Amino acid sequence: MIEDSRKILSEHSVSITNPRILVLEALLEFGNPITIDELQSKLKGAVAKSTLYRVLNDLKKIKILNEFTSPDNSTVVELILEDHSHHHHLFCSDCGEVIDVELSEEFETMLNKEIENVQKKFNFEITDHRVEMFGLCTEECSNCK
Amino acid sequence: MIEDSRKILSEHSVSITNPRILVLEALLEFGNPITIDELQSKLKGAVAKSTLYRVLNDLKKIKILNEFTSPDNSTVVELILEDHSHHHHLFCSDCGEVIDVELSEEFETMLNKEIENVQKKFNFEITDHRVEMFGLCTEECSNCK
DNA sequence: AAATAAATGAGACTTATTCTCATTTACTGT
DNA sequence: ACAGTAAATGAGAATAAGTCTCATTTATTT
C-alpha cells in the first residue's frame, strides 16, 4: 500500500512526503468515499489538521480526489483511481454511508444525450455531471446493523 | 406576494411572522435557486442572521425548501412550489449561477428503472435523487456577461 | 553532504451556522 | 378587543470547518 501511494505521487510529479503517504494509504485502505471526520480519526492525529487539508487540496489539484457534500452537510472525499470507472453515489440518510454505484451503459448514453440538449438550450459548456441517490439502507448495511 | 407568503405559511400551519414573510417574499421574487449570501443581501438586514437561518430551517421542516451545496461550497436554497415540477440543476462554475433544468420524461422513466435496480442491489429504500450538471455558461448568462 | 525550495506543525484566524437568553410578537379563549 | 401563554425574534456569544502564518523540518537536486 505504501508502494501504491508512492507510485501515485511520483506519477503525478508530487513530492513524496510522509503526510501524503499516510493520507493516501488511509484512503486506499478504506476504499470507499469517506468523510473528512472519519479520515481524521483513521489518521489518529498522525497528520496535522492544516496538513490534512493541504494534502487533500494537493490531491484535488492533480485530479485524483473527488470532493462532495453529503446530505447531512459533511464533506466526503474519494480517490479517483485509474481502474475506477465513471460512477455515482448512494447516500444513507441514517448512518451517513456513501456507496459507489455504477449505472447501466444505456442510461449513461441517454444521460449524455440529455446533457447535449441542456448544453444547447442554455448555451452552456457542461464539463461534468453527477447523479446522487438518497435513502435508507435496510438489512445489509453494516453501519445501521 | 405578501398574500402568497401568508397563504404558504398558513397552509402549513406555521405561524405568520414578519421575518417569515420577508424571507418567503424574497425567495418568491427571485424565483430561482439562490445562495444564502445573495438572500441575505436581498433582505438588507431586515431579518437577523440567526432568524434567517431559523426561518430557513422552518421552511425545510415543512418541506417547502430545498437546500444544496454548490460546487464552490456555498449553500443554495430553493422554494419547492406546488406547480414546480421535478427538476435538476445546472451550475456555472464561473459565476455561480444555478439554473433549474427539466429533463425528458423518457430520461426520468429510465432513471427510475435504474433506481429500482439500485434499490434491489443494495437493499436500500431510495427516497430521493438528484442530477447535477456543472459547466460554464457562455454568451447567454447575464452574470458572466 | 550542502543548498534550496517545498512541505509541515501548531496554533491563530476566518467565516458559516447554531445557540443562548432576554425581549417581543402571534395566537387562543374569553 | 384583551389578557395570558407559548412561540418567535434580535443581538451577540459560541462552535466548528477550513484557511492562513510563520518558524522549523524535510525532500530533492547537485
| Residue-level pLDDT, tens digit, chain A, 145 residues | 777 999 999 999 999 999 999 999 999 999 999 999 999 999 999 999 999 999 999 999 999 999 999 999 999 999 998 878 899 999 998 888 999 999 999 999 999 999 999 999 999 999 999 999 999 987 656 666 4
B122/A115 CB distance under 8 A:
no
Which residues are registered as beta bridge partners of A79? Answer: A65
DSSP state of A4: H
Tell if the CB–CB gap between A99 and B119 is shorter than 8 Å: no
User: For residue B143, is pLDDT > 90?
Assistant: no
Q: Write the CATH number for B98.
A: 3.30.1490.190
Give the pLDDT confidence of B55-102 residue by residue, as tens digits: 999 999 999 999 999 999 999 999 998 877 899 999 998 888 999 999
Q: What is the pLDDT of residue A94?
A: 84
Domain extent for B70: 1-83
> Are A63 and A95 within one domain?
no
pLDDT computed for residue B2 by the predictor: 73
Using one digit for the tens of pLDDT, what is the confidence trace for B13-44? Answer: 999 999 999 999 999 999 999 999 999 999 99
CA-nearest residue to A127 within chain B is B135
Q: Considering B59, B83, B107, which residue would you say is the last residue of a domain?
A: B83
Counting Cβ atoms within 10 Å, is residue A55 exposed (0-12), middle (13-18) or buried (19+)?
buried
Dist CA A103 CA A74 (whole Å): 25
Q: Strand D nucleotides below 7 A of a protein CB?
A: 7-13, 17-21, 26-28
Are B76 and B98 a contacting pair, CB within 8 Å?
yes
What pLDDT sits at residue B145?
46
Residues of A in contact with B92 (CB under 8 A): 124
Check whether residue A17 has its CB closer than 7 Å to nucleic acid strand D: yes
DSSP characters over A21-59: HHHHHHHHHH-S-EEHHHHHHHHTTSS-HHHHHHHHHHH
CA/C1' separation B20–C25 (Å): 13
Top residue of B56, B75, B87, B131 to mutate, by most chain A CBs within 10 Å, is: B131
Q: 10 Å Cβ neighbour count for A145?
A: 7
A123: amino acid identity, one letter: N
User: Is there a single domain that holds both residue A15 and residue A44?
Assistant: yes
Q: Do the Cβ atoms of A32 and A78 come closer than 8 Å?
A: yes
Is the domain of A27 the same as that of A98? no
Q: Give the count of domains, chain A.
A: 2
Residue nearest to nucleotide C19 (CA to C1'): B50
A112 touches strand D (CB under 7 A): no
Residue positions counted in chain B: 145
Measuring CA to CA, which residue among B94, B58, B61, B89 is closest to residue B76?
Answer: B89
Are A63 and A3 found together in one domain? yes
- Provide the pLDDT for residue A21: 98
Q: Where are the alpha helices (DSSP H) in B12-138?
A: 18-30, 36-43, 49-61, 105-122
Per-residue confidence (pLDDT) for residue A145, from 0 to 100: 47
